[in-house]
């Protein structure tokens, strides 16, 4: 095909209709112009075998597995956990009965920040945004009757990841299971806590030590556990663009990989267990292109920069959640539609695991009906729409391929900028990442207020509506009950054992001994999360945030 002839013909066509010439410019989420029409001339430079290849083969742009959904559908993994360990156990049983295939635990804020439920800072927060876990006993209740060898469990926990992994391993033991059969994922991505998510505890250096300690423990003992779930999701929720989401998340991952290599680990021993959580937002084509470009960049970087030989090290396997920030409190049923389109984009992009938000999330904890609707959204896509009948079904669209190439270039540019600053930790300590995200969040808000960016039901097609009264409320007794459980446990356990285990932990933390074995011993002595984090706070110190405002 003569590419020049196509360009000439396109120019002629563009003049053929007066309406086309008058169009106001449209832009991608990251600010590049969008053409009115894409043709083969826009992808003429693309080398199919080099840049896209085949699913399951380098550079994995079209998917990480050879058969993709034809072999196995994505994992349906809704995020849940609230009030108390017992209620959480009941919700998990319900979700599994309804056909969910993986669990995802939401922890409350005190747990995520390493405070026990009876700590003064925990007042009012216990059981609010997830389940409280003070000791191994709480995890025993959460997983009661759930055989861990039949499940995969994702845990949204970062700074105290090592403690939660230790508890999971201990429950496995009580069920007669060796760590090597356990499957699951820790979020364990502390760097994004400094920039957007806010549940940091320790400064970057010891935090990254904990991360590499988990890499080392799992590669020897629990090889089926995903040791880290590097997150673009929260940065996107905080306002960044699709380009920034991938570039900042990849920059954070580079910092973890470099630390792992420095600790003497073999890249192919830990890189295959790095997993991801990204945000699937409203712009369907851009989102699909984002994941295709990201898979290629990751594969090339792992092979060429870090010398990975195992193809699994180069595979960008990701979980995605639809965007909570795109949902509106106004006309909440509209959110069902937003979630469905975003979930469609995730499926078209070849996600390994998907959480679809609930339509009432902007109001309160989701109801059983709204959670079921999210689950059904995924099941309808999987079983009724035919979008899984062939792999990477949008591949070959001129527009999609042009976007994929453009994102590939833009993401690499921004990654290079971060590397020039000295890497992710330096970029965060300088406040660069935070300021970039803050600036864009402010720009979006201004655009929404000026009506330049439409939010249906909010700045366009708004109606008078009664405020919805909240249907699900957290149990006001939950906090007191949890504190009583903790105190009862503390009076039952052997204090000598706890003291001994905490002393051993302190010794290893002060030196450079492995941390996972001593944390497992502390957990099994029923030392609390707050006590274990307390020892680490004493040795490691606490992170002091960078001021950007």
Residues that bind other proteins (CB under 8 A): 109-110, 112-113, 115, 121-125, 128-129, 193, 196-199, 237-239, 325, 328-330, 362-364, 438, 441-442, 445-446, 449, 458, 467-470, 473-474, 545, 547-549
Euclidean distance between CA atoms 435 and 417, whole angstroms = 15
Rounded to a whole number of angstroms, the minimum distance from the CB of residue 460 to other proteins is 12
Question: At closest approach, how far in Å is the CB of 467 from other proteins?
Answer: 5
> Could you tell me which residues are beta bridge partners of residue 228?
274
Q: How far is the CB of 364 from other proteins (least distance, A)?
A: 6
- Give the three-state DSSP class for 375: helix
DSSP string, 388-433: TSSSSTTTT-HHHHHHHHHHHHHHHHHHHHHHHTTSHHHHHHTTHH
Q: Which is nearer to other proteins, 237 or 286 (CB)?
A: 237
Nearer to other proteins, 330 or 353 (CB): 330
Could you write out the three-class secondary structure of 518-548? HHHHHHHCCCCHHHHHHHHHHHHCCCCCCCC
Considering beta carbons, is residue 267 or 325 the nearer one to other proteins?
Answer: 325
**Shortest approach of other proteins to residue 329 CB, angstroms?**
4
By DSSP bridging, strand 26-27 and strand 33-34 are antiparallel
Least distance (Å) between residue 28 CB and other proteins: 21
DSSP 316-372: --EEEEE-GGG--SSSTTHHHHHHHHHHHHHHHTT-SEEEPPPTTTTTSSPPHHHHH
Rg of the chain, C-alpha, whole Å: 24
Other beta carbons within 10 angstroms of residue 386's beta carbon come to 9
Give start and end residues of each alpha helix (H) in 196-333. Answer: 204-221, 233-237, 242-262, 267-270, 284-304
Please tell me the distance from the alpha carbon of residue 175 to that of residue 178, in angstroms, as a whole number. 9
Our CB check for other proteins shows the closer of 110 and 350 to be 110
Residue 69: CB minimum distance to other proteins, A: 34
* Residue placing its CB nearer to other proteins in the complex, 112 or 252: 112
Q: Is the dihedral of CA 15, 17, 23, 28 positive or negative?
A: negative
Q: What are phi and psi of 121, to 5 degrees?
A: -70, -15
Secondary structure of 444-466 as H, E, C letters: HHHHHHHCCCCCECCCECCCCCC
Is 58 or 430 the residue whose CB approaches other proteins more closely? Answer: 430
Cβ distance to other proteins smaller for residue 52 or 155 = 155
Q: How far is the CB of 234 from other proteins (least distance, A)?
A: 9
- Choose between 235 and 271: whose C-beta lies nearer to other proteins: 235
Tokens of 224: 């089926």
Q: How far is the CB of 542 from other proteins (least distance, A)?
A: 10
- Look-up: residue for tokens 């992710």? 424
CA distance 26 to 35: 8
222 vs 240 by CB, closer to other proteins: 240
CB of 537 to other proteins, least distance (A): 14
> In this complex, which beta carbon is closest to other proteins, that of residue 4 or of residue 544?
544
In the complex, minimum distance from the CB of residue 442 to other proteins, in angstroms, rounded to a whole number: 5
Do residues 460 and 331 touch, judged by C-beta distance below 8 A?
A: no
Check: CB of residue 189 under 8 Å from CB of residue 241.
no
CB of 34 or CB of 456, closer to other proteins? 456
Beta bridge partners of 33: 27
User: At closest approach, how far in Å is the CB of 106 from other proteins?
Assistant: 12
- Min separation Cβ 429 and other proteins, Å: 15
Between residues 74 and 115, which has the closer beta carbon with respect to other proteins?
115
CA 179 to chain CA centroid, Å, is 24
């Amino acid at each position: 095909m003569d590419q020049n002839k196509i360009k000439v013909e396109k120019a002629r066509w563009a003049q053929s209709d007066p309406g086309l010439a008058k169009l106001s410019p449209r832009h991608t989420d990251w600010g590049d112009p969008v053409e009115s029409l894409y043709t083969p001339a826009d992808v003429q430079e693309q080398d199919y075998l080099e840049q896209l290849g085949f699913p399951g083969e380098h550079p994995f742009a079209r998917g990480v597995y050879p058969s993709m959904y034809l072999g196995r559908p994505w994992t349906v993994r809704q995020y849940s956990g609230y009030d108390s360990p017992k209620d959480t156990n009941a919700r998990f049983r319900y979700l599994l009965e309804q056909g969910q295939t993986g669990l995802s635990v939401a922890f409350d804020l005190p747990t995520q920040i390493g405070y026990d439920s009876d700590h003064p800072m925990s007042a009012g927060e216990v059981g609010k945004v997830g389940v409280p876990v003070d000791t191994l006993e709480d995890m025993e209740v959460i997983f009661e009757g759930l055989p861990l060898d039949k499940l995969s469990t994702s845990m949204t926990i970062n700074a105290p990841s090592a403690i939660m992994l230790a508890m999971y391993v201990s429950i496995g033991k009580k069920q007669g299971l060796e760590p090597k059969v356990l499957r699951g994922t820790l979020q364990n991505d502390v760097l994004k806590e400094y920039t957007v998510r806010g549940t940091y505890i320790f400064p970057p250096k010891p935090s990254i030590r904990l991360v590499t300690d988990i890499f080392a423990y799992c590669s020897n003992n629990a090889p089926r556990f995903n040791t880290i779930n590097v997150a673009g999701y929260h940065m996107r929720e905080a306002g960044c663009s699709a380009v920034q989401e991938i570039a900042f998340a990849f920059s954070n991952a580079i910092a973890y990989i470099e630390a792992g290599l420095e600790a003497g680990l073999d890249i192919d021993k830990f890189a295959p267990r790095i997993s991801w959580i990204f945000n699937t937002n409203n712009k369907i084509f851009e989102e699909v292109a984002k994941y295709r470009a990201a898979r290629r960049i990751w594969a090339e970087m792992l092979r060429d920069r870090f010398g990975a030989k195992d193809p699994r090290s180069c595979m960008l396997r990701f979980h995605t959640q639809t965007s909570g920030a795109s949902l509106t409190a106004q006309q909440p049923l509209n959110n069902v539609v937003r979630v469905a389109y975003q979930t469609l984009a995730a499926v078209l992009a070849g996600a390994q695991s998907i959480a679809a938000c609930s339509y009432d999330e902007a109001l309160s904890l989701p109801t059983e009906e709204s959670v079921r609707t999210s689950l059904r959204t995924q099941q309808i896509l999987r079983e009724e729409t035919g979008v899984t009948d062939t792999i990477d079904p949008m591949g070959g669209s001129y527009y999609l391929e042009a976007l994929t190439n453009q994102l590939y270039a833009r993401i690499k540019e921004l990654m290079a900028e971060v590397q020039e600053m000295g890497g992710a930790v330096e970029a965060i300590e300088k406040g660069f990442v935070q300021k970039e995200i803050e600036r864009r969040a402010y720009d979006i808000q201004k655009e929404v207020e000026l009506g330049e960016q439409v939010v249906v039901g909010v700045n366009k097609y708004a109606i008078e509506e009664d405020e919805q009264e909240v249907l699900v409320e957290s149990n006001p007794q939950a906090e007191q009950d949890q504190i009583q459980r903790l105190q009862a446990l503390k009076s039952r356990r052997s204090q000598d054992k706890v003291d001994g285990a905490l002393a051993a932990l302190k010794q290893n933390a002060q030196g450079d001994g492995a941390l996972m074995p001593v944390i497992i011993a502390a957990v099994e002595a029923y030392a609390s999360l707050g006590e274990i984090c307390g020892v680490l706070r004493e040795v490691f110190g606490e992170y002091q945030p960078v001021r950007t405002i």
